[in-house]
Amino acid sequence: MIHAFEYRGTYLVLDVESGAVHEVDKPSYDVISAVERGNAVNALPYSHSLIQEIMDEIEELRKEGVFDSPAPKAPYADASFSPIKSMCLNVAHDCNLRCAYCFAETGEFHGGRMLMPIETAKAALDMLVQRSGTRYHLEVDLFGGEPLMNWEVVKGIVAYGRELEQKHNKHINFTITTNGLALDDEKIDYINREMFNVVISIDGRREVHDALRVTPNRKGSYDTIVPKAQKLVSLRGDGEHYIRGTYTADNLDFTEDVKALHELGFEQISIEPVVLKPDEPHAINDSNVDRAIEEYDTLLDYVLDQKKEGKPFNFFHFHVDLDNAPCLAKRALGCGAGVEYVAVAPNGEVYPCHQFVGDKDFLLGNVLEKDENGDVPLREDIRQRFASCNIFTKEKCSKCWAKYFCSGGCAANAHKLNGSITEPPDVSCKLLKKRTEIAIGMATVKERE
């Protein structure tokens, strides 16, 4: 399988199964595009000899295994043998904001407001370490709701994690995802010292942010959050962090939101499409997805202009590292939800990921309920469903050129929008493909820009 596309006037061809990228001239692009679509090349306005020259070059690359190369063998995926290495701890099913697009019912997660007790958190970490096998690097994301609403437990979790590291020869990367509203000097200092990564949610322009990210009394939160986020980032130095925003149907000119964040001094930015059912307010759907796709070209212009002006920044979705890229198994399994990644609710319930929390159809177990051996039994049948759900088994993904870049997309979004973890939503796929073309273009044509 191959995929031909244009990146700012340069014609590129991706050999899907190997990841090789070729730059081609316009006649070759037309010939290859015709072949990709199953059209006759003889109908193209080029001489027979020119077409033959191009076909000969294609044949040479084919023999080298970098053009229309065969698919690799699918990695074997069995959840029962897979360690768990990553855990999302929903330390607070409560939030101090009431964002209109919140997937977690503004913090309730279908189960009412609750903070995670420290004993539950410790039991969760025990399960993570016990099920991590030989994995040295483990990850714990402190999530919510809003995790800063359960601050003492956050600190207790990190302290307990450090004990477990020593005892079991593990290294735990703690991360935190926060709306920033409750940040203060003590929390900023602690987060910058203890957290491997921090994600702060800001949607961009003040009016865009304040339209949807409001307090319980419907006031905007931008003016409170931005100075705190700036302070945290300025004190963080080179430490990993992201300012993460959500765009909706209401701000399809989201380049302006990226600009707004960049002008505030942020250099690690991720703005992502909201995930809502097509008929919900603010949804990206078939009627507006093409406008969103167009906007990524505008955003690319801005990213490259800023680079030229000596003010570069990283837009998360325009980055791929082709030289140090993940291995095939990682690309096949994707996020690892339900297999190597799980989420734990404040009441101890374990789910395949944070987006499934509260959906009893996906309840894997409870960290507080142990068997006679002291282990936490998990529903291995559900874990195996997730292990079996990969780019080699999903029909739509197996035929898609972008499969090794998105790894089949988000199972939770597929379930939410299409009712099945194996059927990625078309809108998400379209946006992902556009971002991937740009990312490949930036990675391979960068020396001229």
Partner 1 sequence: MKHIKNIQKPCIRKGENTACGECQASCQSACKTSCTVANQKCVKTAK
Q: Does 242 bind partner 1 (CB under 8 A)?
A: yes
Q: Does 158 bind partner 1 (CB under 8 A)?
A: no
Q: What is the footprint of partner 1 within residues 244-283 (CB under 8 A)?
A: 244, 268, 270, 272-273, 275
Comparison of 53 and 426: residue with beta carbon closer to partner 1: 53
Q: Does 137 bind partner 1 (CB under 8 A)?
A: yes
- Selected binder of partner 1 within 92, 404, 421, 434 (CB under 8 A): 404
Q: Does 406 bind partner 1 (CB under 8 A)?
A: yes
**What is the enclosing helix (H) or strand (E) of 440?**
helix 426-444
Comparison of 245 and 346: residue with beta carbon closer to partner 1: 245
- As measured in angstroms, the least distance from the Cβ of 405 to partner 1 is 4
Q: Rounded to whole angstroms, how far apart are CA atoms 54 and 125?
A: 58
Q: Rounded to whole angstroms, how far apart are CA atoms 227 and 263?
A: 13
Comparison of 153 and 429: residue with beta carbon closer to partner 1: 429
* End-to-end Cα distance, the chain: 29
Q: What is the footprint of partner 1 within residues 309-328 (CB under 8 A)?
A: 316-317, 319-328
- As measured in angstroms, the least distance from the Cβ of 58 to partner 1 is 7
Task: Spell out, one character per residue from 22 to 41, where the chain touches partner 1: x when CB under 8 A holds, - when not.
Answer: xxxx-xx-------------
Query: What are the backbone angles phi and psi of residue 384, rounded to the nearest 5°?
Result: -65, -30
Q: Which two tokens stand for residue 156?
A: 């207790």
Q: Does 135 bind partner 1 (CB under 8 A)?
A: yes
Q: Does 75 bind partner 1 (CB under 8 A)?
A: yes
Q: Does 288 bind partner 1 (CB under 8 A)?
A: no
HSE, side-chain direction, 13 A CA sphere, residue 344: 32
SS3 375: coil
Q: Does 47 bind partner 1 (CB under 8 A)?
A: no
Q: Which two tokens stand for residue 78?
A: 């069995």
Closest CA to 344 of 157, 151, 74, 203: 157
Comparison of 50 and 235: residue with beta carbon closer to partner 1: 50
Q: Does 433 bind partner 1 (CB under 8 A)?
A: no
- As measured in angstroms, the least distance from the Cβ of 446 to partner 1 is 10
Q: Are 146 and 216 in contact (CB under 8 A)?
A: no
Q: What is the footprint of partner 1 within residues 364-403 (CB under 8 A)?
A: none
**What is the enclosing helix (H) or strand (E) of 245?**
strand 240-247
Q: What is the footprint of partner 1 within residues 409-428 (CB under 8 A)?
A: 409-410, 413, 428
Residues in the chain: 449
Q: Rounded to whole angstroms, how far apart are CA atoms 181 and 174?
A: 20
Distance set, CA 180 to CA 183, 184, 260, 441 (Å)? 5, 9, 17, 34
Q: Does 303 bind partner 1 (CB under 8 A)?
A: no
Amino acid symbol at 305: D
- As measured in angstroms, the least distance from the Cβ of 417 to partner 1 is 12
Task: Spell out, one character per residue from 189 to 208, where the chain touches partner 1: x when CB under 8 A holds, - when not.
Answer: --------x-x---------
**What is the enclosing helix (H) or strand (E) of 123?**
helix 118-130
Q: Rounded to whole angstroms, how far apart are CA atoms 421 and 415?
A: 5
Comparison of 325 and 368: residue with beta carbon closer to partner 1: 325
